[in-house]
Amino acid sequence: MRAVIHSERARRISSITGCLIVQLCVGIIYLWSIFKTPIANSFGCSAADLNMVSSYMLTAFVVGCFLGGILNDRHGPRSTCLFGIQLFSAGMVLTAALSPSTIKLISFTYACLGGLGSGLSYSACVSCVQKWLPDRRGLATGLAVSAFGLSTVIFAPVSQAIMGAFTDAATYIVNFRGVFATLALIFLALGLIACQLIHLPVHHQATVHTSTSGTDLSISQAVRTRQYWCIFFTVFFINGTWNLTVPILYDLGIDRGLSAALATFAVSFTGIPNAFGRLLMATLSDKIGRRTCTCLLAAITAAAALMMIFARGWLFIAVVAVIAFAYGGPSSVNAAMTTDYFGSRHSGTNYGVMMLALGLSSLFFNALSSTLLKGSVTLSFLIAAVSALVPIFLMKLIGKTPASASDLRYSKLNSSLSNIVSH
């Protein structure tokens, strides 16, 4: 008996370690800001030609989370992560093969293939770590998503060093064929090794392909509940401040008295409070509750949005850090909350669909900023503050009792949505 317990503990440690390594690898999709200008210079195009790459990448990531959740629940996290890592690395290899005449295809190679592979692995890793730490689900989710966020902090200097090694000393032009080929090899090697460490707990392995009842709701059951849509729209609204801030962060920093170097620092530094927020708030949510934690993050976000209207200099950098912290927190808390309410059996699919709210939020608030608001900073952050407060109402509406199969609330909208998802 003691040997069995020891073996299960060893499998838990190896599985969590494997998931964290995979998360560190696929989190590199957020490094686009480092590559953008050097790529424009290397391939003879303007930076404006590459503006949509990050939007395509986020959209592909969200779709990957959705598909990865389904694959994870059917085939397990190891197979899903293997597929995700291979697709992610293939995107890097194809990016390395681009030339000045084909550079527009980077939206497909780097953004779409890389984003899809990243999303596939992300949702599988979050679900797997939760299953290994069911009694500390917040901590589990925080570990998984903070590793994803820390990828920017860890691999930014690595990527800079690789670009430096492939930079022509005379022209300062970077040979990205070598850069992306090297990155592809690094992530493929690390990812394939990490995937071999990933397992499910024994009691989950036997039920990957079976249906369940009680609090383990399938996606077709979950979308018929009030609770599911409360969490869905929490994800949508609480991310509004971040989505309105990111597109104007550098330029706004310059307007608020920062030098170009400090404005660049403000952008790159966001990775640290982002990752810290993911881990700290998820762990805190195990103690004070997910709803309380979400309300706290919403209040912090709203206050920071209002401060962005007038913040200047180092205060501006501090407020941006707070916004990044409050943006990271919900990504882990909401994942844990989804599993709390709808069970761990179908957590991959349930959270994968939930992640669609993140993509919709980015599209909606970016469109709002560029069309209706047209650069009005004051109005943008007033709307951001109001948006951040909506989740407080939703957390009151969601109720304390986790949803169950007998608590399904049908409506025409929910029935239509569930039919679309199930088909």
**Domain ranges within the chain, ordered by starting residue:** 1-35+50-200, 214-423
Q: Which fold has domain 214-423?
A: Growth Hormone; Chain: A; (1.20.1250)
**pTM, full prediction:** 0.75
Mean residue pLDDT of the chain comes to: 83
Q: What is the 3-state secondary structure (H, E, C) of the chain?
A: CHHHHHHHHHHHHHHHHHHHHHHHHHHHHHHHHHHHHHHHHHHCCCHHHHCCHHHHHHHHHHHHHHHHHHHHHHHCHHHHHHHHHHHHHHHHHHHHCCCCCCHHHHHHHHHHHHHHHHHHHHHHHHHHHHHHCHHHHHHHHHHHHHHHHHHHHHHHHHHHHHHHHCECCCCCCECHHHHHHHHHHHHHHHHHHHHCCCCCCHHHHCCCCCCCCCCCCCHHHHCCCHHHHHHHHHHHHHCHHHHHHHHHHHHHHHHCCCCHHHHHHHHHHCHHHHHHHHHHHHHHHHHHCHHHHHHHHHHHHHHHHHHCCCCCHHHHHHHHHHHHHHHHHHHHHHHHHHHHHHCCCCHHHHHHHHCHHHHHHHHHHHHHHHHHHCCCHHHHHHHHHHHHHHHHHHHHHCCCCCCCHHHCCCCHHHHHHHHHHHC
Mean per-residue pLDDT, 290-295: 93
Q: What is the pLDDT of residues 327-339, one digit of tens each?
A: 988 888 888 898 8
Highest mean pLDDT among 245-259, 301-315, 346-360: 301-315
The least confident of 75-89, 224-238, 274-288 is: 274-288
Is the confidence at residue 4, as pLDDT, over 90? Answer: no
CATH class of 1-35+50-200: mainly alpha
